Structures are given as structure tokens and as C-alpha cells.
């Protein structure tokens, strides 16, 4: 990463020159490349709709994808997209001005889904679930209109872990956000290139770059969320045993169906004595 004026994307023009930041940036870029390659995200010549909320995660996603594209390591077309959902006090000019200044191809879409959510969700309940569904539907529509083959989201490693435990504690299932999935209609991929990246690294990166971060709590519906409760539990575990998050994340990539309890994933009834099993006992 030479970072000379002619060898750097505008998104990195103000990158700090400290050794600490260079290591951080190199680590994030490496982890994104690993995820893109491990989960087979690249279709040469494809076009990606990169969803930009204005939060630290989506800025990190946008910058790293353009870094990889700039250096010829990501042979896809990138279109940044912000969906303004009509939340109170949303700074509507921040992202268009930023993207224009950075020379990033983009589309800004306004859809007042906030009013719909307000009218449908009972008082005292959080808006996030319905808001997410409406946002996803609009993003799929925009991706189709723009000829994109994938919707690219900024969920990171910690989001994936939190979703795992939310499903475990509240949904009675072992499931999380996969780095790559196909939508229900089967015409669009959903990618999460930050799947291997820690939230704290996104935070450090976006703030060091001084990107104009927009808070995610403009609707006032964040207090008491199940996700915040799970995050607090994980924070406690991480504090008592540093590195615990990464160990748990590695477990998601090292699953042994024969050591779980789901007969749909492993033929327990068909086990026969005297024949080798799929995975030996520990």
C-alpha cells in the first residue's frame, strides 16, 4: 500500500501515517480478502450494491472494497447506495456530499418506511425487525433496477456472534448471519465481506479516517434491545477472557454435525457398529 497521490483511492487520501493505523488497515483488508475468497463471493464482471448507512461498519466496508477494487483485487463494479428511511433528524445531505467528494458511484433513495413502522408497531416495542424487513425489500428492488447481482452489507464478526446467541437464547435454533446467501426469490446474493472483521477494528478505522459517522439510534428505538443484552454478555466474557469472541467465531467454521443433535443434518438412526463414523470421537 504505497499511498502516493497517484496510487490511492480518494477514500484513503487522509489515512493516518502511523504504524498502528497501517497495521489496522492491513489487517482489515486481509480479513475482507479472506472472506471474499473463502465464501466465493466474486463473479467476474458482476455489479454489487454496497449498502451504506453512514455508520462505522458501512464506511469501513465501502473503503476496503474500493481499496481492493482500486488495486485490481476485486474485479466487480461497485455502486454505493443509501436508503433514507425518513428517520427524524436524519442528516440527508451528509452521505451524498461525502460520496460525491470521494468520487464514489452512488444512488440515494428516499422511502419513508419510518412512518409505516411507527403506525404498525405497538407503543413500547422496538422498530428494528419491521424496519429491517422494509429496508431489505427496498434494497432488493434497487439492486434489480441497477442490474446488480448482489446486495452487500456491513455486518461484521460481532454482529454474526450476537445473532448466533440471539437465536440460541430467544429462537431455539443454532443459526446466524451467513457471509453469503441467496435471497428467497433466488435472483440476488447477499454478501457480508466484513464477516471476519472485529467491530472494534471497524470503530478504530472509521474514526481514524474521520468519516462523517451518522448515529444508528435516530428513531429512538434502541434501548433494551435483545441484541444490546447479548452484546453486554459477550463484552463480559471478552473482558474476563480476552480473545473469547474469536474462539467462538472459529467454532462457527468448525461444526461437527455428528456431535450435535439434529437428525436432519446427521443420520443417527443409520449408524452401524463396526463401520467408520463421519468424525471420530474426541
List all residues 6 or more positions away from 67 whose beta carbon is below 8 Å from its beta carbon. Answer: 9, 11, 12, 29
d(CA 252, CA 249): 5
The span from the CA of 173 to the CA of 183, in Å, is 20
pLDDT for 179: 97
Tens digits of pLDDT across the chain (282 residues): 445 556 778 899 889 999 999 999 999 999 999 999 999 999 988 999 999 999 999 999 999 999 999 989 999 999 999 998 888 888 889 999 999 999 999 999 998 877 887 777 776 667 677 778 888 999 999 999 999 999 999 999 999 999 999 999 989 999 999 999 999 999 999 999 999 999 999 999 999 999 999 987 655 555 457 788 899 999 999 999 999 999 999 999 999 999 999 999 999 999 988 877 655 444
Q: Give the predicted TM-score (pTM) of the model.
A: 0.89
Nearest Cα to 153, choosing from 262, 272, 62, 26? 62
Reduced to 3 states (helix: H, G, I; strand: E, B; else coil), residue 182 is: strand
Distance between CA 88 and CA 217 in Å, rounded? Answer: 10
All three cell numbers of 171: 429462537
Q: Residues 169, 182: contact at Cβ < 8 Å?
A: no
Q: How far apart are the first and last CA of the chain?
A: 44
Domain ranges in the chain? 10-215
pLDDT for 131: 76
Q: How far apart are CA 263 and CA 85, in angstroms?
A: 42
Which residues, 6+ apart, have CB-to-CB distance to 24 below 8 Å?
201, 204, 205, 208
- Report, at the CATH architecture level, how domain 10-215 is classified: 3-Layer(aba) Sandwich (3.40)
Query: And the C-alpha cell for 77?
Result: 463494479
b/e per residue 213-246 (b: at least 16 CB within 10 A): bbeeebbebeeeeeeeebbeebeeebeeeeeebe
For the beta carbon of residue 133, count every other beta carbon within 10 angstroms: 12
Q: What pLDDT is recorded for position 5?
A: 52
257 DSSP assignment? G
The pLDDT assigned to 124 comes to 64
Q: Which residues of 66-101 are buried (b: 16+ CB within 10 A; e: fewer)?
A: bbbbeeeebebebbbbbbbbbbeebeeeebeebbee
Q: Which of 52, 74, 55 is nearest to 65 (CA)?
A: 74
Amino acid at each position: 500500500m504505497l499511498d502516493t497521490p497517484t496510487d490511492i483511492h480518494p477514500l484513503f487520501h487522509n489515512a493516518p501515517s502511523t504504524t498502528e493505523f497501517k497495521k489496522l488497515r492491513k489487517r482489515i483488508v486481509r480479513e475482507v480478502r479472506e472472506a471474499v475468497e473463502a465464501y466465493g463471493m466474486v463473479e467476474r464482471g458482476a455489479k454489487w450494491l454496497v449498502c451504506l448507512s453512514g455508520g462505522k461498519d458501512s464506511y469501513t466496508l465501502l473503503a476496503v472494497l474500493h481499496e481492493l477494487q482500486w488495486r485490481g483485487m476485486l474485479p466487480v463494479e461497485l455502486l454505493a447506495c443509501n436508503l433514507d428511511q425518513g428517520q427524524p433528524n436524519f442528516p440527508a445531505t451528509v452521505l451524498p456530499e461525502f460520496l460525491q467528494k470521494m468520487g464514489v458511484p452512488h444512488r440515494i433513495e428516499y422511502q419513508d418506511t419510518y412512518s409505516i413502522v411507527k403506525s404498525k408497531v405497538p407503543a413500547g416495542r422496538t422498530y428494528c425487525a419491521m424496519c429491517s424487513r422494509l429496508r431489505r425489500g427496498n434494497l432488493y428492488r434497487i439492486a434489480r433496477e441497477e442490474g446488480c447481482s448482489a446486495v452487500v452489507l456491513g455486518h461484521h464478526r460481532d454482529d454474526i456472534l450476537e445473532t448466533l446467541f440471539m437465536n440460541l437464547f430467544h429462537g431455539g435454533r443454532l443459526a446466524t448471519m451467513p457471509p453469503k446467501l441467496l435471497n428467497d426469490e433466488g435472483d440476488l446474493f447477499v454478501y457480508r465481506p466484513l464477516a471476519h472483521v472485529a467491530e472494534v477494528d471497524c470503530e478504530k478505522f472509521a474514526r481514524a479516517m474521520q468519516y462523517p459517522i451518522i448515529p444508528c439510534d435516530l428513531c429512538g428505538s434502541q434501548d433494551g434491545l435483545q441484541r444490546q443484552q447479548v452484546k453486554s454478555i459477550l463484552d463480559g466474557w471478552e473482558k474476563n477472557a480476552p480473545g473469547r469472541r474469536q474462539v467462538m467465531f472459529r467454532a462457527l467454521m468448525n461444526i461437527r454435525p455428528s456431535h450435535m443433535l439434529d437428525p436432519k443434518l446427521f443420520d443417527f438412526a443409520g449408524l452401524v457398529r463396526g463401520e467408520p463414523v463421519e468424525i471420530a470421537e474426541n
